[in-house]
Amino acid sequence: MFFMPVFDINYLLFMLPAVLLSLLVQMYVKASYSRWSRVQNRSGMTGAQVAQRLAEKIGMYDLKFKGVPGQLTDHYDPRNRVLGLSQDIAQRPTVASMAIAAHELGHAQQDQDNYFPMRIRTAMVPAVNIGTSIGWIFILMGLLLQIGNLAWLGVFAFSAGAIFAIATLPVELNASKRARQLLQSSGLIISAQEQKGVKQVLNAAALTYVAAIATSLMQLFYFASLAGGMRGRRR
C-alpha cells in the first residue's frame, strides 16, 4: 500500500476487519506449516526431489530450479520457467515441503497447459501495477482539487488491484488441486495422514488469497466512499 491516510479514522474503520482477518490467516498458515514441517513424509523426499519428480511426470524437462531466501517464498515464474524454492521446502523431507513443492509444480503444469485463468492473470500484471500506482494519485488530486470525476477515475484505476486479487484465487485453488492429483498419481502420498497434511497446508495457503481479496476490496470501498462523499460539492 502506497498511500495510508492514517489521519482519517474512517480508513482505520474500513481496514481493521481486513487487517484482523489477514493476521488470523497468517497465524493459521504459520501454524499448519509448522505442524506439517515437523512430520516427515513417507517417501523421504525433499521438496526439491518432489519437484524434480513431478516435473518429469508432466514432461517439463526444461524447468530450472533456484533457491530463494525466506520462508514460504516459494513460487513459479512462467516468464523463464524457473521454480524458486525456499530452503526449508527444498531441503527437508516433510509433508509441508511435499505439499508446497507440488503446488508450485501445479503452477508449472498450468503454464504448460496454457491454463486460461493463469494467462489472464499474468497478462493483467502491468495494468494492475499502473492502475494501483496512479489510482490513488488521481483520487488524492481529485479530492484536493474537488474534481469528482478525477477521483472516480482514480477509484476505477485502483480497482485493478481488487480485480487482480479476485482473479488470483481460482488460479491458486487450481494449482493446489493439481498438486494433490500429481502427488496422488505419482504415488507420493502414501498414508492417510500425509493426505490430510497436504490438504491442510494447501487450504491454509489458499486462505491467504481470500484475505488479500478482503484487503483490496476494503481499500477500494474506502476510496469509493471518499469519492462518493464529494457529491454535491462538485462544481
CA separation for the pair 231, 145 (Å, rounded): 14
Residue among 111 and 172 whose Cβ is closer to Zn ion: 172
C-alpha cell recorded at residue 88: 526449508
Convert 159-192 to b/e letters by CB count within 10 Å (16 or more is b): bbbbebbebbbebbbbbbebbbebbeebebbeee
> Is 104 a known active-site residue?
yes
Binding site for Zn ion (CB under 5 A): 172, 175
Query: Least distance (Å) from Zn ion to the CB of residue 172?
Result: 5
Give min distance, CB of 155 to Zn ion, in A. 29
Residue closer to Zn ion (CB basis): 15 or 175: 175
CB of 129 to Zn ion, least distance (A): 19
Which of 56, 104, 172, 194 is catalytic? The answer is 104
Tell me if 135 sits within 8 A of 88, measured CB to CB.
Answer: no
- CA 230/CA 24 separation, integer angstroms: 35
Please say which residue, 137 or 169, places its beta carbon nearer to Zn ion. Answer: 169
Nearer to Zn ion, 94 or 109 (CB): 109
Retrieve residue 19's grid coordinates. 487487517
Counting other chains too, the contacts that 149-153 makes at CB distance below 8 Å and 24 or more residues apart are 151/226, 151/227, 151/230, 152/227
Q: How far is the CB of 66 from Zn ion (least distance, A)?
A: 17
Catalytic (active-site) positions: 104
